[in-house]
Amino acid sequence: MTIVSTTKQILLTGIAGFLISSSLASAQDCTPKHQFATVEAGTLTVAVTTYAPHSFIDDSGAMKGIDGDIAAEFAKRECLKVKAVAVDPAAAIQYVLSGQADITTGDWYRTAERAKVMSLSAPLYTDQMGIYSKEDFKKVSDLEGKQVGTVQGYLWVADLKTLLGDSLKLYPNSVNMQQDLKSGRIDVAVDGYSTGVVAAQKGALGDIKVNVATSDDRVKASKEAAQAAFPYSLKAKELGVALDAGIAEMHADGTIVTILKSYGLDGTAAETGAPRLVE
């Protein structure tokens, strides 16, 4: 071996050692704010549903969406890696209950029924009631005297049925309702505001405008929209403490507003009010 090659080897070994020590120092520099156990040590395992803009996995395999970005920021602040597992919405809750995931993403409502079997984090944002129309309607009163469509299962359905009677048409999904609105078979539609923002971004709504419904005493969901949360195991009490603290911090420093706006929303959904459960 020549002196030159020996010198080169020493230099390369020194550089490698420096990089390894730098990496270890960087890892040690991250101090978690809380101590809690996770399904896999050092990792936040997330059951990710596909429900844009709240939850999805992008082409690179990264967890994205409003919920996904909040969860990723929480993991970063607690010095955790993220393991995203794509799941069907019907299986997501079971993934958490069975201990295969720490939390799940997908605009999960804080409901009294769900709270019986699992814990729910502090509110992330509200799922606002949206009004879709060519006329740029914003008020519940704008719906009166019109043919109105909405999707089954939302919190506002019962109140709208009382208010509009036979003028309200129920749809199994947003796509069918949007098609009827564009074709003029209904005059106005009521759906989740975030769903409409995504549809508009994709050019699926044409000249239809989407607005957050203004508060109206006759439709409770326009005043108190459902709050979204991260579901987690009843046994994971320390995780829950960390989640609630992290979410409170992200509300206070504007992180959640910034994330909402990055998906085209106006940020007002971050104004969740006190935690509550949908009965």
29 domain residue, yes or no:
no
191 domain residue, yes or no:
yes
Q: Are both 172 and 188 inside the same structural domain?
A: yes
Q: How far apart are CA 186 and CA 147, in angstroms?
A: 5
Q: Are both 133 and 189 inside the same structural domain?
A: yes
Number of domains the chain contains: 2
Q: Are both 184 and 169 inside the same structural domain?
A: yes
Q: Are both 216 and 166 inside the same structural domain?
A: yes
Q: Are both 76 and 160 inside the same structural domain?
A: no
Q: Are both 191 and 59 inside the same structural domain?
A: no
- Domain membership of residue 147 as a residue range: 128-220
Q: Within 13 Å, how many C-alpha atoms sit on residue 236's CB side?
A: 27
Q: Are both 115 and 144 inside the same structural domain?
A: no
Candidates 129, 146, 243; CA nearest to 194 is: 129
Q: Which residues contact 151 (CB under 8 A, 6 or more apart)?
A: 170, 171, 172, 173, 174, 177, 191
Q: Are both 195 and 70 inside the same structural domain?
A: no
200 domain residue, yes or no:
yes
Q: Are both 71 and 133 inside the same structural domain?
A: no
153-258-87-198 Cα dihedral, nearest 10 degrees: 50
85 domain residue, yes or no:
yes
pLDDT reported for residue 4: 40
Sign of the alpha-carbon torsion through 213, 277, 73, 47 = negative
Residue 177's domain is classified under what CATH number? 3.40.190.10
> Tens-of-pLDDT digits for all 279 residues of the chain?
444 444 444 444 444 444 333 333 344 589 999 999 999 999 999 999 999 899 999 999 999 999 999 999 999 999 999 999 999 999 999 999 999 999 999 999 999 999 999 999 999 999 999 999 999 999 999 999 999 999 998 899 999 999 999 999 999 988 899 999 999 999 999 999 998 998 898 898 999 999 999 999 999 999 999 999 999 999 999 999 999 999 999 999 999 999 999 999 989 999 999 999 998
